[in-house]
Structure 1
């Protein structure tokens, strides 16, 4: 559970870059979020 919480915190920070990251975070809660975080950093 703690790991999932850390991912959610990261997701909330990532949403500043692009909203689709939040969608991936909620759906996968996995390393896919990290991949999309780089993709969304404009």
Structure 2
């Protein structure tokens, strides 16, 4: 029972860390050049 709880905990931490790194990469990395800013499109 203790080993399955440890496995689930480690899996959840790994998933959270992976998603965080992925979203930071998408926000500030190479793919961010393709994102559009809707506020800039409507400025006058």
Is the structural similarity TM-score above 0.5?
Answer: no
Question: Is the radius of gyration larger for structure 1 or structure 2?
Answer: 2
> Whose RCO is larger (CA < 8 A, sep 6+)?
1
Q: TM-score range by the shorter chain?
A: 0.3 to 0.5
TM-score with structure 2 length normalisation? 0.36
Determine which structure has the larger helix proportion and give its number.
2
TM-score with structure 1 length normalisation? 0.37
